[in-house]
Amino acid sequence: MPDAAFEKDGSLPDTQFSFVPILGLSLDFEEYSCRLADGQEFAVIRRIANPPAWDQFLLRSDIKASGLPFILFQVSRVSAEFELKQLSGRQEPVSPAVAVSIVDLLHVKTGSFGATPVLCNRSLVDIARYPTNSLVFAPCRGDALLHEPLGQAPIELADIEWALARLPATIKLTKEQKFRISLDALTTFHHSRYLEPRLLTLWSGIESVFGVDAEIAFRLSLLSATYLEGRGKEGYELFKDVKANYNSRSRVAHGSRVEDIEKAIGFAHTLLRRLLIRVLESGALPVESSILFPDEKAEQAGRQ
């Protein structure tokens, strides 16, 4: 576990926000060292089995320095944290954006609703060892303050390894607007107060994966099914399911009531996750012609 590097007189060292508390992730391991391809450790993710008690948290937090993020921070729901490391040749720790990206990728992989609303200057493990007013917080991802834990799947080491392996693809794909929209739709849809906007947000992410802007219901259903399942029986069944659920999306968009909207949200959430998993594992967004006419693409490649 990390130890606090206090000044001898108990005062705060220069504030450096190298810890990222995580809400809503259930780790089935104690901690894991995240490393670059060259072996350098850039972060550690660890489980927090016992979140800080509220009275201890108040006593040891510098409320004046932390401001609003501290007030809204749901410390009782902290279940894990990232400790960001300093890489060789750099004076600052790794960017918190890396921790946010890993949490987003874990949502894609497992469906777990993690959130990273704040940064902290110290670990939240065993805070009783800290002096009064020694914990300082800063905003990390502001919209995560609206986090609602809709579901939790245990995070295994294989899930962390999958997320780390997809970080390079995520960095590359984030340069493309369609991917940014899709990933943001998946990781923020539940911040809306009402169910209807949640459903619409998820479908905006699904549409953005393919960039469909005409004959949307049919093309989106066909592309999703073929991309994920191919042209066999499974593909046809998924085609029917996507088309039926897109009709629910259309009714909501036009102000009509949808029966069992939570089921519709669950379908859209799972579909968008599956699409993004496929995108991240392939390292590229899908191309409509390649999905619908893969044999033609192979023939063209052979002729070249």
Q: pLDDT tens digits for 67-93?
A: 766 656 678 889 999 999 988 877 778
Classify residue 44: in a domain, yes or no. Answer: yes
Are 274 and 229 within 8 A, CB to CB?
no
Classify residue 303: in a domain, yes or no. Answer: no
Q: Is the pLDDT of residue 303 over 50?
A: no
Tally of CA atoms within 13 A in the half-sphere of 202 that contains its CB: 31
Q: Which segment of 68-72, 103-107, 291-295 scores lowest on mean pLDDT?
A: 68-72
**How many domains does the chain divide into?**
2
Residues 97 and 120 in one domain: yes
Classify residue 98: in a domain, yes or no. Answer: yes
Instruction: Fill in the amino acid letter for 81.
Output: E
Residues 148 and 51 in one domain: yes
Residues 119 and 245 in one domain: no
Tell me what the pLDDT averaged over the chain comes to: 86
Residues 218 and 136 in one domain: no
Q: Which segment of 88-97, 138-147, 154-163 scores lowest on mean pLDDT?
A: 138-147
In sequence order, the 6+-apart residues with CB closer than 8 A to the CB of 32 are 44, 45, 46, 157, 160
Residues 136 and 42 in one domain: yes
Classify residue 224: in a domain, yes or no. Answer: yes
72: exposed, middle or buried (Cβ count in 10 Å: 0-12, 13-18, 19+): middle
Residues 23 and 141 in one domain: yes
Report residue 15's pLDDT band, with 50, 70 and 90 as the boundaries. Answer: low
Domain stops at, among 165, 189, 224: 165
Residues 150 and 285 in one domain: no
Q: Which segment of 15-19, 133-137, 265-269 scores lowest on mean pLDDT?
A: 15-19
- 3 state SS of 46: strand
Share of the chain above pLDDT 90, in %: 61
Q: Is the pLDDT of residue 17 over 70?
A: yes
Classify residue 8: in a domain, yes or no. Answer: no
SS3 letters across the chain? CCCCCCCCCCCCCCCCCCEEEEECCEECCCEEEEECCCCCEEEEEEECCCCCCHHHHHHHECHHHHCHHHHHCCHHHEEEEEEECECCCCCCECCHHHHHHHHHHHHHHHCCCCECCEEECCCCCCHHHCCCCCECEEECCHHHHHCCCCCCCEECHHHHHHHHHCHHHHHHHCCCHHHHHHHHHHHHHHHCCCHHHHHHHHHHHHHHHHCCCCCHHHHHHHHHHHHHHCCCHHHHHHHHHHHHHHHHHHHHHCCCCCCCHHHHHHHHHHHHHHHHHHHHHHCCCCCHHHHHCHHHHHHHHHHC
Report residue 259's pLDDT band, with 50, 70 and 90 as the boundaries. Answer: confident
Residues 79 and 131 in one domain: yes
- Calpha distance 59→135 (Å, rounded): 9
Domain stops at, among 115, 140, 165: 165
Q: What confidence score (pLDDT) does residue 146 get?
A: 56
Domain stops at, among 165, 188, 216: 165
Classify residue 10: in a domain, yes or no. Answer: no
Classify residue 4: in a domain, yes or no. Answer: no
Classify residue 148: in a domain, yes or no. Answer: yes
Q: Tokens for 175? A: 């340069």
Residues 37 and 153 in one domain: yes
Q: Is the pLDDT of residue 176 over 90?
A: yes
- Which is nearest to 123 in space by CA: 159, 69, 85? 85
Residues 213 and 276 in one domain: yes
**Domain hosting residue 181, numbered range:** 168-294
Q: What confidence score (pLDDT) does residue 294 get?
A: 81
Residues 174 and 160 in one domain: no
Q: Is the pLDDT of residue 150 over 80?
A: no
Residues 194 and 237 in one domain: yes
